[in-house]
Amino acid sequence: MSAPLLEVRDLHVHLPGVGGARLHALRGIDLSVARGERLALIGESGSGKTLTALAIMGLLPDGATTTGHVALDGRDLLTLDEDAWCGLRGRRVAMVFQEPLTALNPLQRVLAQVMEPIRLHRLAADRSQARDRAMALLARVGLDDRQARAYPHQLSGGQRQRALIAMALAGEPDLLIADEPTTALDARLRVQVLDLLGELVAERGMGLLLISHDLALTARRVDRLQILYGGRVMEQGDAPTLLAQPRHPYTQALWAARPRLGAGRDQPLHPLKGNVPALTQLGEGCPFAPRCPLATARCVDQPPRFDGRIACWEVSP
Amino acid sequence: MRRAGFLAGAILTALMLLAALVSLVWTPWPPDQIDMARRLAAPGAAHWLGCDQLGRDVLSRLMAGARSAWLVGVVAVGIGLIAGTALGLIAAARRGWVEALILRASDLGYAFPALLLAILLAAALGPGMTVAMAAIGLHAVPSFARLVNGSAKSWWARDFVLAARVAGQGPVSITLRHVLPQLMPLLIVQGTTSFALAILAEAGLSYLGLGTQPPQASWGRLLAEAQTLMFEAPQLAVAPGVAITLAVLGLNLLGDGLRDRLDPKELPR
Amino acid sequence: MSDASTATPPLLEVSGLGQRYGGRTVLRDVHFRLPAGRSLGVIGESGAGKSTLARLVMALERPSHGQVRWSGRDVNAMPARERRALRPHVQMVFQDPYGSLDPRWRVGRSIVEPLSALPMTESQRLARLAEVLEAVGLEADAATRFPHQFSGGQRQRLAIARALATRPRLIVADEPLSALDVSVQAQILALLRELQHREGISLVIVSHDLAAVEVLCDEALVLRGGEVVEQGAVERVLGEPRHPYTRDLLAALA
């Protein structure tokens, strides 16, 4: 296995809250992505998955404080200023967003938008070479000539998402971060987009950090998974193992809560009780404790111990 | 920075209102009192802003002028707001040909020159404050109608309004209980803007002799009277000019500040 | 499709239903019959016309073709006042829990809004409010709070409570789960199923979530590009799909 392309250790993020309070939004996130590897960060609202991506990209809002270690090919990202970031974003690390309609410029043809990063980062000798590269990229993601010359509103949701992927790839990044790239798409398209991302990652030796709330959809299409809840990593491991034998109560509950297709109308349902905690409601202990069937007093008071696989007091290694 | 604007606007507007209210019971001198001995007197202890060409106290006339400005403003904006909002709400609720009719009529009203309207009304009713209120008020109706229609339509498309329909509420009930309350911030802001425009319009009409008639004081007429004396006593134009500017500025700042305070904080997601 | 061959008309019947906006046909030739107590799932991708169908079934829009009948009565062939009088029997739950409650109203007021058309005293309304809040698993004091004070899942429960207030025979739910967190979806799903069993309510649920449709519905209807490509008993449609499109949809989720 190659040395990690992206390495994140003990990442903490504090956000400004109402009335001057500081909210501890990310509590010690560790993760790594190697070249050619696909890692999925799974979480619900408030889990911190998007914040993690923003922290890596240096896109946190003003007033947020970050501590810890975030490095791309060994280069520390947390100490970079905006100028240094401009050279990196798009070129070494690129991001694909959730809502393609708002992420694309409605007044520019798709081809022009894909050409922009190419020219910006001087990856082509001249305009016509840039155009050729852009067309090739768009073809690779499955958009033909006509679609390439279209405006975003003339394309379907799936086509727009592909265009966004082409734009992200135009800078030839080493790391691609995709934040809920399929939420706005339909079931069949989701699978296609994820498969496409997987292929591109393998072809180009990129790393992929995929952020999603859909465990079932992503689990079979990535190499490793991390389950986030309340700003902490609850469980992590390679996808097949996590799929077959989830060990953390939260992961197990997520799996069990989904109805199974084919299990019939009267299949028993096992919903999780309670609500996802808001940032302001998190204390020092395990964020899942209020809803966990195994919770003890220790779970409520003390942050769960992470053994490399799961963060839990009650489940033994 | 924003806070400062809002406060400044509120203070200026309050000052103007205060001047108008106080002038109902007291002014330093009777605004109509002519005293040729003090013709064009310079500002001094007795007359803080001096006297005009007929010896009348400028400050008192300014305060009386504030009264006209407020009166015309309130009535005109009242007309525009009530009639315009009603039309806009009806158009948004009924849609179809009703909406088309109201919007096209609004376009026509908008395009019709306000001045021409004032002249026509003056010809029919004789010039005076009533003409000013009517003309300015009628002219404000289309703006309110279009604004309310646009905003109300977007509220009608929201799920909670659909839910009210599902609950069996009729369009009148929905308009009054669900849609109109959502429009309050918009109406308040538009109201202050309209008020500022009304004051300017009133000054303009009075300047032209179509609005408030003597002996009633109005900032516009003060300007008109000062115009003939531009070379003899330019300071006479300054007072009403500054008054108009400050009033309009105050209202605009107030409106901006209200908009900032009312709109983004709504509906925390 | 199942057919009540008794004299009483089905709770909901849709025949030849179609809708056009301007030149664009968004729904074409939809037929189905829903007897009381049975539930239907409308499956399809976005743009397939599912939400349009939901609005037509709820008589929130007039169709350009076809009829919608509630217990045998054509809802679009009656004056508006008469239609409004029928609304207590057919209620709706919307997709977006953040938008379906008036943000300026306390939620208790929103929940009893459907009751205003019925002859009830104030204390009867309050009693019903307490009943439905309990039925959806919320405390009685929730009624005095505003929507923004609740989470997405709780708001959806409030929306369901509102839909239950008039004891409707039919509830149409347009993607009631998709805007919710995964761990909360299962709660609402379980709640809906429990309400079906306890109150005998019929559901028409529009969803792209096939497993949810399997859990809640007796019949399924698959829409694509505004047309019905397949319909029938839910076990048959999801278990042995005949149309290639349905098979694709299922394969994508395997």
Three-state secondary structure of C4-42: CCCCCCCCEEEEEEEEEECCEEEEEEEEEEECCCCCEEE
Contact C243/A at CB under 8 A: no
- Six-digit token pair at C58? 């709820």
pLDDT tens digits along C10-32 = 999 999 999 999 888 999 999 99
A261–C250 C-beta distance less than 8 A: yes
Average pLDDT, chain C: 91
Over range A258-270, report the average pLDDT.
Answer: 88
Kind and range of the H or E run holding A256: helix A249-257
C214–A265 C-beta distance less than 8 A: yes
Give, rounded to a whole angstrom, the gap between the first and last alpha carbons of chain A: 25
A78 alpha carbon, distance to own chain's centre:
18
Cα three-residue angle A276-A278-A284, rounded to 5 degrees: 95
Query: Are A269 and C190 contacting, i.e. CB atoms less than 8 angstroms apart?
Result: yes
pLDDT tens digits along C153-187 = 899 999 999 999 999 999 999 999 988 888 888 89
B165–C60 C-beta distance less than 8 A: yes
Over range C66-77, report the average pLDDT.
Answer: 95
Over range A39-52, report the average pLDDT.
Answer: 91
Contact C58/B at CB under 8 A: yes
What sign has the CA pseudo-torsion B209, B215, B216, B220?
A: positive
**Strand, coil or helix: what is C73?**
strand
Q: What is the pLDDT of residue B261?
A: 77
B182–C104 C-beta distance less than 8 A: yes
- Beta-carbon contacts of residue B95 (< 8 Å; ≥ 6 apart): none
Query: Are C146 and C106 contacting, i.e. CB atoms less than 8 angstroms apart?
Result: yes
Over range B149-175, report the average pLDDT.
Answer: 92
Contact A153/C at CB under 8 A: no
Over range B175-200, report the average pLDDT.
Answer: 91
Q: In what order do the strands lie in the sheet with A22-34?
A: A22-34, A4-16, A65-72, A75-76
Q: What is the pLDDT of residue B23?
A: 86
**Number of alpha carbons in the 13 Å side-chain half-sphere of residue A185:** 25
Closest CA of chain C from A311, distance in Å: 19
Query: Are C218 and C54 contacting, i.e. CB atoms less than 8 angstroms apart?
Result: no
**Strand, coil or helix: what is C230?**
strand
Q: What is the pLDDT of residue B2?
A: 67
- Six-digit token pair at A109? 């043809």
Q: What is the pLDDT of residue B137?
A: 92
A264–C235 C-beta distance less than 8 A: yes
73-92 in C: which are within 8 Å (CB) of B?
A: 80-81, 84-85, 87-88, 90-92
C106 alpha carbon, distance to own chain's centre:
24
CB atoms within 10 A of CB A196: 17
Three-state secondary structure of C99-119: CCCCCCCCHHHHHHHHHHHCC
- Beta-carbon contacts of residue A69 (< 8 Å; ≥ 6 apart): A7, A8, A9, A10, A11, A76, A78
Q: Which residue of B has its CA nearest to C101?
A: B160
Query: Are C76 and C156 contacting, i.e. CB atoms less than 8 angstroms apart?
Result: no
Interatomic CA distance for residues B217 and B228, integer angstroms: 17
C94–B167 C-beta distance less than 8 A: no
Query: Are C93 and C163 contacting, i.e. CB atoms less than 8 angstroms apart?
Result: yes
What sign has the CA pseudo-torsion B188, B189, B192, B193?
A: negative
pLDDT tens digits along C220-246 = 999 998 999 999 999 999 999 999 999
**Strand, coil or helix: what is C237?**
helix
Give, rounded to a whole angstrom, the gap between the first and last alpha carbons of chain C: 27
B119 alpha carbon, distance to own chain's centre:
19
pLDDT bin (cut points 50, 70, 90) of residue B153 is: very high
Strands C90-93 and C170-174: parallel
Average pLDDT, chain B: 87
Question: Model pTM?
Answer: 0.82
Interatomic CA distance for residues A14 and A24, integer angstroms: 5
**Number of alpha carbons in the 13 Å side-chain half-sphere of residue A146:** 2
Q: What is the pLDDT of residue C134?
A: 92
Which residue has 């302001």 as its token pair?
A280
Q: Which chains touch C (3 or more CB pairs under 8 A)?
A: A, B
Over range B160-189, report the average pLDDT.
Answer: 91
Contact list, C98 vs chain B (CB under 8 Å):
269
Q: What is the pLDDT of residue B230?
A: 82
Listed in sequence order, the DSSP H helices in chain C are: 50-57, 80-86, 107-112, 122-135, 152-164, 182-199, 210-216, 234-239, 244-253
Domains of chain B are: 2-24+52-262 (1.10.3720.10)
Closest CA of chain B from C90, distance in Å: 8
pLDDT tens digits along A8-33 = 999 999 998 877 788 899 999 999 99
pLDDT bin (cut points 50, 70, 90) of residue B269 is: very low
Q: Give me the interface pTM, i.e. the ipTM.
A: 0.86
pLDDT exceeds cutoff 50 at C1 = no
Cα three-residue angle A178-A181-A183, rounded to 5 degrees: 145
CB atoms within 10 A of CB A308: 9
* C-alpha Rg value of chain B to the nearest Å: 22
Over range C184-213, report the average pLDDT.
Answer: 92
pLDDT exceeds cutoff 50 at B185 = yes
pLDDT bin (cut points 50, 70, 90) of residue A275 is: confident
pLDDT tens digits along A89-104 = 888 899 998 877 788 8
Three-state secondary structure of chain B: CHHHHHHHHHHHHHHHHHHHHHHHHCCCCCCCCCCHHHCCCCCCCCCCCCECCCCCEHHHHHHHHHHHHHHHHHHHHHHHHHHHHHHHHHHHHHCHHHHHHHHHHHHHHHHCCHHHHHHHHHHHHCCCHHHHHHHHHHHHHHHHHHHHHHHHHHHHCCHHHHHHHHCCCCHHHHHHHHHHHHHHHHHHHHHHHHHHHHHHHHHHHHHHCCCCCCCCCCHHHHHHHHHCCCCCCCHHHHHHHHHHHHHHHHHHHHHHHHHHHHCCCCCCC
Q: What is the pLDDT of residue B1?
A: 60
Q: What is the pLDDT of residue A317?
A: 63
Contact B169/C at CB under 8 A: yes
Q: What is the pLDDT of residue A247?
A: 92
pLDDT exceeds cutoff 60 at A2 = no
Query: Are B148 and B88 contacting, i.e. CB atoms less than 8 angstroms apart?
Result: yes
Q: What is the pLDDT of residue B266?
A: 46
Which candidate in A50, A186, A251 is best for mutational testing of the C interface (most C CBs within 10 A)? A186
pLDDT bin (cut points 50, 70, 90) of residue B268 is: very low
Q: What is the pLDDT of residue A103?
A: 83
pLDDT tens digits along B18-52 = 988 988 888 888 888 888 888 888 888 888 888 88
Domains of chain C are: 35-46+85-253 (3.40.50.300)
A260–C183 C-beta distance less than 8 A: no
pLDDT bin (cut points 50, 70, 90) of residue B263 is: low
* DSSP strands (E only) in A3-64: 4-16, 22-34, 38-42
pLDDT exceeds cutoff 80 at B148 = yes
Interatomic CA distance for residues B148 and B138, integer angstroms: 16
Which residue has 């509950």 as its token pair?
A253
Q: What is the pLDDT of residue C62?
A: 94
pLDDT exceeds cutoff 90 at C105 = yes
Contact A273/C at CB under 8 A: yes
CB atoms within 10 A of CB C246: 22
Interatomic CA distance for residues C33 and A152, integer angstroms: 40
Interatomic CA distance for residues B248 and B65, integer angstroms: 14
Q: What is the pLDDT of residue C96?
A: 87
